[in-house]
Amino acid sequence: MRIASLIRWIVFALAAFILNFPVIATLITSFKSNAEISRNPGLCIREPTLANYATVFDPAGRFDVWQFLGNSLTAALIGTILPIALCFPAAWAMARRGVGMNVLFPAAVNLRALPLIVFAIPLYLMYQTLGLLDTKLGLGLILAVVNIPIALLILTNTVRELPYELEEAARMDGASMATLLFRIVLPMCRPAIVTVFIFGFITAWNEFLFGLMLTTRDAVPITVGASFFFASGGGGVQWGVAAAIIMVSAAPPVLLGLVMYRHIGGSMTGGAVKG
Amino acid sequence: MTFRKKMLTATALSALMATAAQAEVTVLGWPGGPEEEALRAVTEIYNAKDDVAEENKVELLFFSRDGFFDKLQADLAAGSDAFDVNLLATYSIGRYAPYMEPITLSGEAEGVFGDTVLSTMQFEGAQYGVPTDLSMHFLFFRSDLMEELMGDEDAKATYAAISEEYLGTAMEPVAPDEMTWEDFAATALYFSRSVNPDSPTRYGTVLQMKNLLFNMMVFQSLPRAYGADWMDADGNITVDSEAYRTGLEMYKMLYDAGATPTDSLSYEFPEANAAFTSGQVAMMVQWNGASGALTGAESAPMTADVTDSVAPPTGPEGRFTHIHGLGLGLNKNAQNPDGAKAFLEWLSTEEAAVAYATAGGAPGLTGTAIEAVAEARPDLVPLGEFASNYGYVMNGATGANALSIYELQAQEFTGYWGDTQSLDEALSAAEAGMADLLK
Amino acid sequence: MTTITLENIGKRFGTTDIFQDLSLAMNSGEFVVFVGPSGCGKSTLLRLIAGLEDVTSGKISIDGRDVTHTAPHDRGLSMVFQSYALYPHMTVRQNIAFALHTEKLPKAEIDARVNEAARALQIEPYLDRKPKALSGGQRQRVAIGRAIVRKPKAFLFDEPLSNLDAALRTETRIEIAELHKSLDATMLYVTHDQVEAMTLADRIVVLSGGRIMQVGTPHELYTAPANTFVAQFIGSPKMNLLPVETTARGVELSAGKPALPVPVRPAVQLGVRPEALRLVAPEEGLLTGKVALAEYLGADLSVYVDTEHAGRVTLRGPGTMKVRDGETVGLTFDISEAHLFDANGDAIRGEMKAAA
Amino acid sequence: MSLSQRSENAILTAPLVLFLLALLGFPTVLDVIYSLSDVSFETLRAPTFTGLDNFRAVLADPDFWQATWFSLKFAVLTSVAECVLGLALAIYFSPILRRAPWMLAILIMPMIIAPAMMGLMYRLVLHEFIGPLPNYLYNWFGVSYGFLTAQNVFKTIFVIETLQWTPFALLLFHMAYESIPEDIREAASVDGTRGWRLLTRIELPLMLPTLGVALFIRFIDGFRVFDNIWTLTGTGPGGSTTSLSIYIYVAFFRSGEIGQAIAASMILFAAAFLVLFVAARRGRGKETA
């Protein structure tokens, strides 16, 4: 029994290491000087340095990384909160009254399977007309489209799982539609909404293609900004700096995932115990 | 949606949005390299001038190199006015010309750049841009290793044996500046451990073979030295030629023999530089833009001191380097065309060109201009020299579809190198595609 | 003080008719229990009255006012749900006060009412807890509290005790009965448990397959079931139904035994409750059989007898009674205790005077 | 249904409908027009109608079929590998995860990283001279393994994709496994069902619906893969890593064959819709069964 458990822990450590290997390797590289990277490509660091991060955040540097981060934050928040706001009432109507289950629901959910590149050029033309190009709002709106399928799916399923009697009780208590939705159903959907928010935020933050296409200067998100540091074809890539900016770009969603994980995990196990 | 509603929505939305920067003259430059640094430097000078009005000051804009041309094309085609002045390159002029306005250069321009360089920014007889940088290829090599090879009799014997085995004739090592492509191949093999276990380096060279258009430009100079061209005078596609076959087969032979890293099929500029600066590669053909990265003590601590460069190797038809210019031109939808024109005109003066060169750019200069920068930038002297002596542009490489042709070649040629198709298949596919694109 | 009347109610789900043409009147202050096996439509009936479901046809009135198309809340009823349906994200106090808030009552009034209900139900200590932190019985009280504070015209209970354990169920049942007395309110109560129905109800409505089988006081249902369904549904162990033949002599249980009086309609079944049967010597019995099993219940003894003519028959006697397994016994009963049913299962009543 | 409920339904769903129409309605119309037109970047605003030519061209293009085959193969192999691995790990690690739930966070980290960044990371990690992995391979075993040669590149991106998304499957299976009621396991163990038999006869059948969901989602995402392959190998030697999404992107931006690119995406959309429709039907069928 002891040995089996020991082996299990070893396998676990190994799996964790292999799954996270690229992250670990990049993290280590980000603490190496250029000289050390070319001399010592291994996983140990002889002279750790923060110089790469200093370069990334250098206020006099070529790019304003804080602005990229701010853009990503704003756009990702719009792209996460908006779908929740739009999908929650619709999800209730779908789950409880079957509204739009024939067309709207499948159409919206199937968006997930569609490569959204398809809409790139027409969207570009439309954004230009509306003055949405290179704005955080514009980027946020398209990120919202990206997140709608998962938001709608999760919220619809969640509402369907809620005990219907609670809503009947609320109707007996004289709750209006708005009260019912926002005072009764919404609070009970909170774990699901947190889940949607976290998944959505991570997806929005990590989105690359639309950031590349629809922003130029004012609204460039960090994933695209990071690729600026990865410029190729010209003066040479500084691999250490590139590694550092990748880590900076990956840090917010990873931290969010790690911190909020407990929250999700708690609600999951809670649900399981209740059966 | 009626027009009025549309306007209302647009107004409402723009009111919602962050205040758009009141751009003066917005310039979209080539990011990430010495070109960017140089552009920043001259912009500072320009903006400090007394006679430049506040609303004509220049603001710079950069985005990623990854997909740069794709995005620029989409922006231009959609009629973007996010920038007044944008980057253009010799091989993309044809593609971008419909969305740009020809410009007038300063009177000094001809004396500063010379006709050859100015012509890299011309399309159908009109001047579309100010040439800022000249891009070509150098042969970068490890002078220490080359000297050692030239002075060691045992090494020469090994060299002869290797060249006999792989190239059919016993050869003697020659200095890099006198190399033919055959010598290049023999030297690359000699310095590869898979061929010569005693080699001081793991690989003789590093070829950039990723399926990417820029890599095709690096490759072109090899077949060109054997007389390759895209079209003959009558407009027939001539890619299926002995010259291309020789070049393609040489790459393949080197790759299969292990003279270039196993993963070269996924290598582009940064990977190749990283390989070279690790000290495990004896030589490579690379863009002149890599000079700084390969010879800087900071970026190449192990090899900077012993790295030298010459023009690419020679062949039966001569010595060639693929050449193209980068420049800046005027967007048709510019919001401030007059301010942009003024800036572009100034950019073509000697004052600007010298400042640009001094700040790290790589303009092709002649006359008094090159004399003025010769001390600060000795590497620019051979650049101009190389450009006029060895520079070439393939017949058809400034057409609207030049980029697509490079894409196509990249697709087919890498397929041959990667063993997913035969040489004949690759060439006939390239020929068919090119015929379509060059119509 | 509220009367509720249903007139010709019909309800259809898809193509399935749950009710057709159902009418019922509930009097002011009355405790009415809907009882029946699962699927009989009793919960649906309650929900129609509550307004949670729309009727397909017919009319519902409360105190003479037509509420057929009135929203649930405006019918002035409150309901206690099977699962209690407490809002999990609100404290007990918020749960109880929720309806009062939607009515926009003044805060002082809300507090007063909540406190009053809490005191009455002895849930004051838990007012600031969430439902999750309460036991089943406590949740049940909160659910009732939520119903009380609204001072409704009538209370609707949907199997409110089914989630409680046996001891708590009895206790709460008594509390509900006391509540009814103290509030003097009209209460409609759905259950499948006949003990709850018998103990709580002023009147019981027995439902089966969407039809009302009988409406009456517990005593009426027990002593004068209208049909075999009610006869067997009410009472435990359930009433024995014995096959009979109606001849000119009267109703005969089996050949050679004395016949019972002649009913006005031919009877095919005779019902007799287990407690009405008596054990006698085999030759004296109207029926004879062998004892299959005797269950000792303390005060009572249930004896299962396999008879020759009527199959298995159950008898209930005092716990002191002595029988042996396998013993042959005779069974008899007073004629006045017998119920006769015709071929449709309907009771034949009051016409058994002419004895042969 | 009463009128008020109808208008309520309209109010509830209108924001979503209007938003989707506003953001995707116009682009869709334009896409339909483009797919039926001869259009290039020069003629974006004035396409000429050519009927179904674009669709014909796409269906006749061997590269399209190669990309389709690539995507299909990639999606099937990765989704199966991810689910098998995720399922095995979820069950094998369940004692650990039950005792220390936060350990799960370590395992699911890869799926939180942007796939585009993941591709960039592997460019560094797999590089022969600056990447740790080839470095150790060479120093310890004297091997220069070409991870991205034409012969190995598929295996490599298969492994990369699998490593990034196995955690997704693992997470789903972990949740499903933990939600199996304990009394079912107890009942089984009273019956003398334990270990492997418990797993195959009791637990796995109970997790079957989750397996379906996980396979399906991973299949969809594998089929439309773009970011990580794009940043790592682009189209690959001889186009060997061209997924359908990459094919569309290249046709669109690189080759300027806009009509053809959009026609290809329409075909993809139709295929996806069909698959989802069938899946939804079957799902619904099961629910009612």
D82 touches chain A (CB under 8 A): no
pLDDT at C316: 93
pLDDT at C355: 42
Q: How many CB atoms lie within 10 A of CB B114?
A: 20
Q: Nearest C-alpha of chain A: how many angstroms from C50?
A: 8
Q: Nearest C-alpha of chain C: how many angstroms from A181?
A: 13
A10: tokens are 């070893």
The CA radius of gyration of chain A, in Å to the nearest whole number, is: 23
D139 touches chain B (CB under 8 A): no
Q: Residue B82 is nearest to which of A39, A125, A216, comparing CB atoms?
A: A216
Query: Would B120 be classed as within a structural domain?
Result: yes
pLDDT at B77: 83
Measured CA angle at A31 (ends A26, A36), to 5 deg: 95
Alpha helices by DSSP H, listed for chain C, are 42-50, 92-102, 107-121, 136-148, 166-183, 194-200, 218-223, 228-233
Q: Nearest C-alpha of chain A: how many angstroms from B358?
A: 16
Q: How far apart are CA C30 and CA C1, in angstroms?
A: 9
Neighbours of chain D (3+ CB pairs under 8 A): A, B
Query: Would A13 be classed as within a structural domain?
Result: no
Return the minimum-mean-pLDDT range out of B9-18, B95-104, B182-191, D148-157.
B9-18
D30/A41 Cβ within 8 A: no
B202/D144 Cβ within 8 A: yes
pLDDT class of C220 with cuts at 50, 70, 90:
very high
The count of structural domains within chain B is: 2
Q: Which chain C residues contact residue A176 at CB under 8 A?
A: 102
Assigned CATH for C4-229: 3.40.50.300
> Could you report the per-residue pLDDT of A112-168, keeping only the tens digit for each?
777 777 787 788 878 888 889 889 999 999 999 999 988 998 899 889 888 888 899
Note whether B353 and B406 are same-domain residues.
Answer: no
Q: Nearest C-alpha of chain C: how many angstroms from A46?
A: 54
- Given a cut of 70, the residues of chain A with pLDDT beneath it are 1, 60-61, 230-237, 262-275
For residue C216, list its beta bridge partners: C204
| Model confidence at B436: pLDDT above 60 | yes
Peptide bond into A106 cis (omega under 30): no
Query: Would A248 be classed as within a structural domain?
Result: yes
Residue among C67, C65, C64, C63 nearest C9 (CA) = C67
- Given a cut of 50, the residues of chain D with pLDDT beneath it are 1, 285-289
> Could you report the per-residue pLDDT of C49-63, keeping only the tens digit for each?
999 988 999 999 999
| Model confidence at B187: pLDDT above 80 | yes
Q: Nearest C-alpha of chain A: how many angstroms from C67?
A: 14
D227/A208 Cβ within 8 A: yes
The mean per-residue pLDDT over the stretch B287-293 comes to 84
Query: Would A60 be classed as within a structural domain?
Result: no
Query: Would A191 be classed as within a structural domain?
Result: yes
Q: How far apart are CA A12 and CA D103, in angstroms?
A: 9
Q: How many CB atoms lie within 10 A of CB B38?
A: 23
Residue among A121, A151, B384 nearest D29 (CA) = A121
A227/B17 Cβ within 8 A: no
pLDDT class of C356 with cuts at 50, 70, 90:
very low
Note whether B65 and B118 are same-domain residues.
Answer: yes
Could you give the maximum distance between any two Cα atoms of chain C, in Å?
80
Report the CATH number that the domain containing residue A148 is assigned in CATH.
1.10.3720.10
Note whether B35 and B79 are same-domain residues.
Answer: yes
Q: Which chain A residues contact residue B9 at CB under 8 A?
A: 130
The count of structural domains within chain A is: 1
Q: Which residues contact D73 (CB under 8 A, 6 or more apart)?
A: none
Q: Residue B17 is nearest to which of A137, A231, A238, comparing CB atoms?
A: A137
> Could you report the per-residue pLDDT of B407-432, keeping only the tens digit for each?
899 999 999 999 989 999 999 999 99
Chains A and C share 3 or more Cβ pairs within 8 Å: yes
Q: How many CB atoms lie within 10 A of CB C178?
A: 10
Q: Which residues contact C12 (CB under 8 A, 6 or more apart)?
A: C18, C56
Alpha helices by DSSP H, listed for A162-238, are 164-172, 177-179, 186-188, 190-206, 209-214, 222-229
Tell me the helix, strand and coil percentages in chain A, rounded to 5.
75, 0, 25
* Residue-wise DSSP of C41-110: SHHHHHHHHHTSS--SEEEEEETTEE-TTS-GGGGTEEEE-TT----TTS-HHHHHHHHHHHTT--HHHH
A275 touches chain C (CB under 8 A): no
B211/D129 Cβ within 8 A: no
Q: Which residues contact B375 (CB under 8 A, 6 or more apart)?
A: none
A129-144 as b/e: b if 16+ CB within 10 A: ebbbbbbbbbbbbbbb
Residue among B45, B24, B63 nearest B357 (CA) = B45
Measured between CA atoms, the residue of chain B closest to residue D126 is: B263
Q: How far apart are CA C225 and CA C241, in angstroms?
A: 13
Q: How far apart are CA C341 and CA C265, in angstroms?
A: 9
Measured between CA atoms, the residue of chain A closest to residue C81 is: A165
Note whether B361 and B305 are same-domain residues.
Answer: no
Chains B and D share 3 or more Cβ pairs within 8 Å: yes
Measured between CA atoms, the residue of chain A closest to residue C158 is: A165
Q: Nearest C-alpha of chain A: how many angstroms from B25?
A: 14
B202/D149 Cβ within 8 A: no
Residue among D15, C100, D59, D26 nearest A172 (CA) = C100
Residue among B349, B390, B391, B354 nearest B375 (CA) = B354
Measured between CA atoms, the residue of chain D closest to residue B194 is: D144
D57 touches chain B (CB under 8 A): no
Note whether B121 and B250 are same-domain residues.
Answer: no
Chains C and B share 3 or more Cβ pairs within 8 Å: no
A21/D125 Cβ within 8 A: yes
Q: How far apart are CA C252 and CA B65, in angstroms?
A: 105
D131/A20 Cβ within 8 A: no
D239 touches chain B (CB under 8 A): yes
Q: Which residues contact D32 (CB under 8 A, 6 or more apart)?
A: D266
Q: Nearest C-alpha of chain A: how many angstroms from B80?
A: 7
Q: Residue A26 is nearest to which of D96, D124, D276, comparing CB atoms?
A: D124
> Could you report the per-residue pLDDT of C301-346, keeping only the tens digit for each?
999 999 888 889 999 999 898 888 899 999 998 888 889 899 999 9
Note whether B262 and B308 are same-domain residues.
Answer: yes
> Could you report the per-residue pLDDT of C246-273, keeping only the tens digit for each?
887 788 877 667 777 777 788 889 999 9
Note whether B116 and B145 are same-domain residues.
Answer: no
Neighbours of chain B (3+ CB pairs under 8 A): A, D
pLDDT at C252: 81
Sketch the domain layout of chain C as residue ranges: 4-229, 241-348
Measured between CA atoms, the residue of chain B closest to residue D123 is: B271
Neighbours of chain A (3+ CB pairs under 8 A): B, C, D
Assembly ipTM:
0.81
C146 touches chain A (CB under 8 A): yes
Chain A stretch 143-172, residues whose beta carbon is closer than 8 A to a beta carbon of chain C: 163, 165-166, 168-172
Which residue of A29, A121, A143, A255 to mutate against D (max D Cβ within 10 Å)? A121
Chain B stretch 80-119, residues whose beta carbon is closer than 8 A to a beta carbon of chain A: 80, 82-83
Domain of B356 in residue numbering reads as 21-135+324-392
pLDDT at A215: 85
pLDDT at D3: 52
Give the three-state DSSP class for B206.
coil
Could you give the maximum distance between any two Cα atoms of chain D, in Å?
78
Q: Residue B292 is nearest to which of A132, A236, A239, comparing CB atoms?
A: A236
A212/B67 Cβ within 8 A: yes
Establish, for the pair of chains A and C, how many residue pairs have beta carbons separated by less than 8 Å: 63
pLDDT at B12: 46
Measured between CA atoms, the residue of chain A closest to residue B34 is: A235
Considering the entire predicted model, what is its pTM? Answer: 0.83
pLDDT at D71: 93
pLDDT at A113: 74
Q: Give, as one character, the DSSP assignment of residue C258.
A: P
What CATH number does domain C241-348 carry, 3.40.50.1100, 2.30.38.10, 2.40.50.140, 1.10.8.60? 2.40.50.140
Assigned CATH for D62-282: 1.10.3720.10
Measured CA angle at C163 (ends C162, C166), to 5 deg: 75
Q: Residue A25 is nearest to which of D19, D132, D275, comparing CB atoms?
A: D132
D185 touches chain A (CB under 8 A): no
* Residue-wise DSSP of D201-264: IIIHHHHHHHHHHHHHHHHHHHHT--HHHHHHTTT-GGGTT--HHHHHHIIIIIS--HHHHHHH
pLDDT at B3: 47
C203-238 as b/e: b if 16+ CB within 10 A: bbbbbbebebbbbbebebbbeebbbbbbbbbbbebe
Note whether B276 and B194 are same-domain residues.
Answer: yes
B134 touches chain A (CB under 8 A): no
> Could you report the per-residue pLDDT of B231-282, keeping only the tens digit for each?
988 889 999 999 999 999 999 999 999 999 988 998 988 889 889 998 999 9
